[in-house]
Structure 1
Amino acid sequence: MKLKSIILIIGTFFGSALFTACDDYLDRLPLDQPSDATFWSTESELKMAINAVYRSLYWTDRTTATALNTHLPLPLLFDFATDISWDRNLNVWQLIGQGQVTAVEGTLIFPLWSHAYAQIGHCNRLLAYMHRAEAVTNPQVYARIAAEARFFRAYWYHWMINLYGDVPFITEPVATRDAALPRTGKDEIYRFLISELDAAAEVLPVEYPAAEKGHATKGAALALKARTALYASDWAAAGTAAKELMDLNKYSLYPSYDKLFTYEGQNNSEAIFTIQFSRTNQMVHQTPSHTRGRLAGGFVTKIPTQALVDSYECIDGLRIDKSPLYDPTNPFKNRDPRLYATIVYPGSVFLGYQFETHPDSLTVWDYNQTPARRVGNQEVTNPYATFSGYMYRKHVSSDAREFNSQSELPIMLYRYAEILLTYAEARIEQGQIDESVYSAINAVRTRAGLPVITTGKSADQLRQIVRQERKVEFVFEGQRYFDIRRWKIAEHIMPGRLYGRPLREYKAKYIPRFDEYGHPHYDAYASELRMFDTRIFNPAKDYLLPVPQRERDINPNLTQNPLY
């Protein structure tokens, strides 16, 4: 069944959460939706069931049904609670970044928990009941659907253990009366996920026909295994999964990082697993609205920080405080090309408009007209324009197919560059540094336009290089949040003020001091920069999110994470 037809059949299917029914209703057959007692009897119903699980990928940090169709995909958003990005809306991402999120927060903490368990419950029911249709289902289709369900169950448990730590562990359908389960150690759940993903990878195909684009493949299972193992510091498993995926010879780096996140580059050779969108089926995302400037019809709520801008190296591969090519009065010259592909910076052109954030730039050029003409600069005059003086270019296309609040641009959840850097990191941490490590790192760097890393580096030097690459390669893809936690550096780089561009001109003295974690500091000239938030991070608490209080109210066996 085509993925794009999923939306037509799942609006009411699997609409309940994991633990919702009262005991009086447990044995009644619903009259308005499929029932476990009457469903799971044909191949088409199994396909309907697994396609319903794919719907879980469209979940966002909004809670209403309408908003689910029109906001930003959840995986992208975690960057906005880190050192490199900020969300100007007073919401959960600000609260997490400020160390102020609580167990009663209602837009992410509880909805994400309940949504994940709803999807885990869907997979559990499918795997438990699908045998009823085995005799009338094509054996290959039957095995594939089971593998997809195991993949998705692992996908959502991966989120849970990395956000909340120990969580209730459920692999069978659970009646409401039996739902008060305690938390299971994340290590036990992790071992289960690895075995599940191994099993799924054995069955899932390497590729699908074009009509089934977006379904989980063998590569997707291996990519999820590699990331799950990496986050658990299981270097052997991470490296093995990454190498196995590399050896499929199915994926390669897309030649242009600049076009990788545009319609021109959609569904490219680098994409391993994606969220597909379709206006026809009313499945879109609103990323362009949240990153476009005011002149281009957006409102810039998702904002890069000066710390991110300064983290990009110069074109010679040296950090800005070390490179002779860096000119702080012209800071965007001779920089890592990924900066230009990711950030809209002063002096650049974005969607046909000159971008300037100096307070005296009251008008700018509009190149969408012939001849170009000067127009009022809303990035200066609008009180809700970009707070940092920068905008995001990533995930926004100038293609004629783009719609401001109805983007169909696929979102890559796993891509090949991550696999290369996972392989390199795993080998480094195992002390197995050889040519293949340099080759993996250099493939990512040379695609970006940077010089290669020469051999002879120490393990610590290579470790810092990989961390730098991950920081700038995966901006606005949500991985920074998890990286700084698994590396245990969040407590060092998160606390402090978030800065943007200088209030006026860029000056020669504007070269930050970098610490051992590659994080820039602005003590010498902080008063001359835009400041828009203060981050707080308590290492005794903030490496995990709180268990939702609403879950603890109905389940007395659920304990809370420390200090919440």
Structure 2
Amino acid sequence: MKKIIGLLSIVSFLFSCQESLLDTVPDDRISTEIFWQTEDDAILGANALYPTLDGNRLFSYDGITDLVHTNRLFEDNSIIEAGNADASFSRFLSEWDAAYTAIRRANDFFENIDRVETDNTTLISQLKGEVRTIRAYHYLKLVMLFGDVPLITTSINVDEGKVLTRDPAADIWDYISTELTTAAGELPASYSGNDKGRVSKGAALGLKARGMLYAGRYAEAAAAAKQVMDLGVYSLYNSYEDLFQYEGENCNEIILDRQFAKDVLSNNYYNTLGPWSLVPGSVGSVYVPTKKLVDMYEMNNGLSITDSESGFDPYNPYENRDPRLKQSIFVTGMELPNGKIYNTLPNDPNATDPVGGTLYTTTTGWNIKKYIADSDNSTPGNSGINLILLRYAEVLLTYAEAKIELNEIDNSVYNAINQVRGRVSVNMPEIATNLSQDVLREIVRKERAIELAFEGTRLFDIRRWNIAHEVMPETVYGMTYEENGSLVTIEITGYNRVFDSSRDYLWPIPQKERELNQNLEQNPKW
């Protein structure tokens, strides 16, 4: 019996060992069971949110507006511009998926962060503020693109996902405001060393100012913008042009950006935006400026080019203009990073990028200059320039616009606008004083269009101003040039932009999401 009992004990032990082998933590991935333990784990958990910030998608928002044209007809944006997209269109789904992927990561972070055993409460608070801010960043975009959306603040399983409903946009805005206020209290005003680029107090407050402006909650927007201004951390960088080059990285104007590093974590913005001649065979010219944007840039005396006293010469249209024109846009006659002279004149045998020359050259006669660095010319797909998501100039214009809409017009409003216009490398004249609310409203809107061109804000601006149905269906025009002694303006023929005011102020809930969950009611006319 002793031998039998002993043998049974051995068998029982071996069996229990086999069971424990089946229960071991996988060694080919990081498991939650062993992860959320150290401060490094907490930092890595927060870091997982940063890659969800916008990259190329930022330019695509402007590419569906009146100021920027999606250059090739087969691009997703062009199909949306022409009114030919439906709820099954991949662009709508990818936007939805990207945001909710980020939100799920954030929710998972909050459900596990307090498991980390540490006395460094300051660090944990900071990381919570970072993740909270990035989650709010994505909800801000979701509500602007789709309107009512599911507000998810905890991890959910598949079954729970199938019964979600859309929460009212007002509730999403409430959440964004509360979350960013909380985050601002958790975050430091600035960072140093390797922590530069992390979400700061100014980023939380700046995004709150943006969100409340978009929501039409002007008192909240003005107050949040003023808090950023009062931090004493930010100011306008002297060179507008260098702001979007390597020289401007981590400067005093940047509040939030997507950080990159050549050879380590690079981007292809050079290929996306640059003239075709810089990167033949690697595309280029995906998004190009329109005549409407170029005509907005005033003469350097502060007068509109349509003013008979401005001194504008249609035969030399780029001379004596607001310096931001040539600092933002390649126009004919400028030197390119490869040393050639940019020339888009149709039928000119010496043109580098003639309109109509190839499928990939600009169709309007201009190309975007922001983020095109000379040092990236040899490796155009390996740019390390950081992408600006929020900067101090926007905060100043947000403050001014919010105060104008509240009709609380005082010297601080004029000062905010004039600061932007008076940047050292821009030096545009100050605007006149004692202007009406309507006149100031048009000034600040125009200033946003010029100052923030190609930075992803225009789509949301024309939606919230309720002017998209007026400005979008217009014919797309390009540059005006001299041909046989006459002035000719390029017109993009055979292409019509469509905007249905009863439908297109919101994108559709993606069809694939509604097939999985019929509780997600569709937006009107989609």
Q: Scaled by the length of structure 2, what TM-score is found?
A: 0.89
3-state DSSP class of the match of 2:389?
Answer: strand
Which residue of the partner structure matches residue 194 of structure 2? 211
Contact 1:254-1:270 within 8 A present in 2 as well: yes
Q: Does 1:310 align with 2:295?
A: yes
- Bigger Rg, which one: 2
Q: Deviation of residue 449 (structure 1)? A: 2.3
The 5 A counterparts of 1:475-494 are: 475-494=453-472
Which residue of the partner structure matches residue 66 of structure 1? none
Contact 2:257-2:388 within 8 A present in 1 as well: yes
Instruction: Please list the CA deviations of residues 152-185 of structure 1 after superposition, one character each: whole Å capped at 9, or x if unmatched.
Output: 1111111111110000111112122212200000
Alignment equivalent of 1:324, drawn from 310, 316, 323: 310
3-state DSSP class of the match of 2:211?
Answer: helix
Which residue of the partner structure matches residue 12 of structure 1? none
Which residue of the partner structure matches residue 109 of structure 1? 92
Contact 1:427-1:437 within 8 A present in 2 as well: yes
Which residue of the partner structure matches residue 540 of structure 1? 502
Q: Deviation of residue 360 (structure 1)? A: 3.9
Contact 1:43-1:137 within 8 A present in 2 as well: no
Which residue of the partner structure matches residue 451 of structure 1? 429
Alignment equivalent of 1:45, drawn from 20, 41, 48: 41
Q: Does 1:118 align with 2:94?
A: no
Once residues 141 and 496 of structure 2 are traced to their aligned partners in structure 1, the CA distance between those partners, rounded to angstroms, is 27
Contact 1:295-1:378 within 8 A present in 2 as well: no
Q: Deviation of residue 454 (structure 1)? A: 2.0
The 5 A counterparts of 1:338-487 are: 338-351=324-337, 352-363=339-350, 381-399=357-375, 403-447=379-423, 448-487=426-465
Instruction: Please list the CA deviations of residues 163-214 of structure 1 after superposition, one character each: whole Å capped at 9, or x if unmatched.
Output: 1000011111212221220000010111111111011001101111221121
Which residue of the partner structure matches residue 8 of structure 2? none
Q: Does 1:81 align with 2:64?
A: yes
Which residue of the partner structure matches residue 223 of structure 1? 206
Letter in 2 for 1:414: L
The 5 A counterparts of 1:182-197 are: 182-197=165-180
3-state DSSP class of the match of 1:363?
Answer: coil
Letter in 2 for 1:353: K
Contact 2:99-2:142 within 8 A present in 1 as well: yes
Instruction: Please list the CA deviations of residues 390-439 of structure 1 after superposition, one character each: whole Å capped at 9, or x if unmatched.
Output: 11111111236873111101111000000000000011111110001000
Once residues 151 and 287 of structure 1 are traced to their aligned partners in structure 2, the CA distance between those partners, rounded to angstroms, is 25
Alignment equivalent of 2:124, drawn from 127, 142, 146: 142
Structure 1 residues 562, 339: closer, same or farther in 2, change over 3 A? Answer: same
Once residues 324 and 125 of structure 2 are traced to their aligned partners in structure 1, the CA distance between those partners, rounded to angstroms, is 41
Q: Deviation of residue 280 (structure 1)? A: 3.6
Which residue of the partner structure matches residue 175 of structure 1? 157
Once residues 420 and 325 of structure 1 are traced to their aligned partners in structure 2, the CA distance between those partners, rounded to angstroms, is 30
3-state DSSP class of the match of 2:111?
Answer: helix
Q: Deviation of residue 504 (structure 1)? A: 5.0
Alignment equivalent of 1:100, drawn from 81, 84, 91: 84
Contact 1:329-1:507 within 8 A present in 2 as well: no
Q: Deviation of residue 31 (structure 1)? A: 5.8
Q: Deviation of residue 536 (structure 1)? A: 0.9
Q: Deviation of residue 383 (structure 1)? A: 4.3
Letter in 2 for 1:331: P
Q: Deviation of residue 297 (structure 1)? A: 2.0
Letter in 2 for 1:168: P
Structure 1 residues 39, 176: closer, same or farther in 2, change over 3 A? Answer: farther
Q: Does 1:497 align with 2:475?
A: yes
Letter in 2 for 1:330: N
C-alpha RMSD of the superposition: 2.2
Which residue of the partner structure matches residue 275 of structure 1? 258
Q: What is the aligned residue count?
A: 495
3-state DSSP class of the match of 1:260?
Answer: helix
Which residue of the partner structure matches residue 20 of structure 2? none
Which residue of the partner structure matches residue 17 of structure 1? none
Once residues 110 and 32 of structure 1 are traced to their aligned partners in structure 2, the CA distance between those partners, rounded to angstroms, is 30
Once residues 311 and 555 of structure 1 are traced to their aligned partners in structure 2, the CA distance between those partners, rounded to angstroms, is 45
Once residues 152 and 402 of structure 2 are traced to their aligned partners in structure 1, the CA distance between those partners, rounded to angstroms, is 30
Q: Deviation of residue 546 (structure 1)? A: 0.8
Instruction: Please list the CA deviations of residues 308-335 of structure 1 after superposition, one character each: whole Å capped at 9, or x if unmatched.
Output: 1111111121211114311112111121
| Residue range with higher mean Cα deviation, 468-477 or 146-155 | 146-155
Contact 1:29-1:35 within 8 A present in 2 as well: yes
Letter in 2 for 1:152: I
Once residues 256 and 369 of structure 2 are traced to their aligned partners in structure 1, the CA distance between those partners, rounded to angstroms, is 22
Contact 1:53-1:119 within 8 A present in 2 as well: yes
Letter in 2 for 1:241: A
Structure 1 residues 378, 318: closer, same or farther in 2, change over 3 A? Answer: closer
Letter in 2 for 1:295: S
Structure 1 residues 507, 305: closer, same or farther in 2, change over 3 A? Answer: farther
Instruction: Please list the CA deviations of residues 232-259 of structure 1 after superposition, one character each: whole Å capped at 9, or x if unmatched.
Output: 0110110000000000010000111122
Once residues 506 and 385 of structure 1 are traced to their aligned partners in structure 2, the CA distance between those partners, rounded to angstroms, is 23
Once residues 327 and 94 of structure 1 are traced to their aligned partners in structure 2, the CA distance between those partners, rounded to angstroms, is 33
Q: Deviation of residue 505 (structure 1)? A: 3.3
Once residues 434 and 162 of structure 1 are traced to their aligned partners in structure 2, the CA distance between those partners, rounded to angstroms, is 30
The 5 A counterparts of 1:280-291 are: 280-281=263-264, 283-291=265-273
Once residues 494 and 419 of structure 2 are traced to their aligned partners in structure 1, the CA distance between those partners, rounded to angstroms, is 37
3-state DSSP class of the match of 1:414?
Answer: strand
Contact 2:58-2:456 within 8 A present in 1 as well: yes
Q: Deviation of residue 28 (structure 1)? A: 11
Structure 1 residues 272, 377: closer, same or farther in 2, change over 3 A? Answer: closer
Q: Does 1:562 align with 2:524?
A: yes
Q: Deviation of residue 380 (structure 1)? A: 6.5
Contact 1:361-1:377 within 8 A present in 2 as well: no
3-state DSSP class of the match of 1:310?
Answer: helix
The 5 A counterparts of 1:290-301 are: 290-298=272-280, 299-301=284-286
Contact 2:476-2:491 within 8 A present in 1 as well: no
3-state DSSP class of the match of 1:268?
Answer: coil
Which residue of the partner structure matches residue 3 of structure 1? none
Letter in 2 for 1:478: G
Letter in 2 for 1:427: K
Structure 1 residues 173, 29: closer, same or farther in 2, change over 3 A? Answer: farther
Structure 1 residues 96, 245: closer, same or farther in 2, change over 3 A? Answer: same
Q: Does 1:337 align with 2:358?
A: no
**Please, which runs of 5 or more residues in structure 2 have no aligned partner?**
1-22
Letter in 2 for 1:140: T
| Residue range with higher mean Cα deviation, 160-169 or 347-356 | 347-356
Q: Deviation of residue 93 (structure 1)? A: 1.1
Letter in 2 for 1:162: M
Contact 1:290-1:300 within 8 A present in 2 as well: yes
Q: Deviation of residue 304 (structure 1)? A: 1.0
Q: Deviation of residue 96 (structure 1)? A: 2.2
Which residue of the partner structure matches residue 223 of structure 2? 240
**Please, which runs of 5 or more residues in structure 1 have no aligned partner?**
1-26, 61-71, 365-375, 511-524
Structure 1 residues 531, 500: closer, same or farther in 2, change over 3 A? Answer: farther
Once residues 152 and 347 of structure 2 are traced to their aligned partners in structure 1, the CA distance between those partners, rounded to angstroms, is 59
Contact 2:206-2:390 within 8 A present in 1 as well: yes
Letter in 1 for 2:498: I
Contact 1:358-1:504 within 8 A present in 2 as well: no
